[in-house]
Amino acid sequence: MENLTISESTLNKYFGILENLDTNSKKRLIIKLTKSINSKPKQEQKLENIFGAWQGAKNAEQIISEIKDSRYNNREIEEL
pTM: 0.43
Grouping H, G, I as helix, E, B as strand and the rest as coil, residue 30 is helix
Most confident of 34-38, 44-48, 60-64, 74-78: 60-64
Contact in structure between 38 and 46 (CB atoms under 8 Å): no
Q: Tell me, what's the pLDDT at 53?
A: 64
The domains of the chain are located at 1-39
| Rounded mean pLDDT, 49-63 | 79
Q: What is the pLDDT of residues 12-55, one digit of tens each?
A: 998 998 999 999 999 999 999 898 888 776 666 666 666 666 67
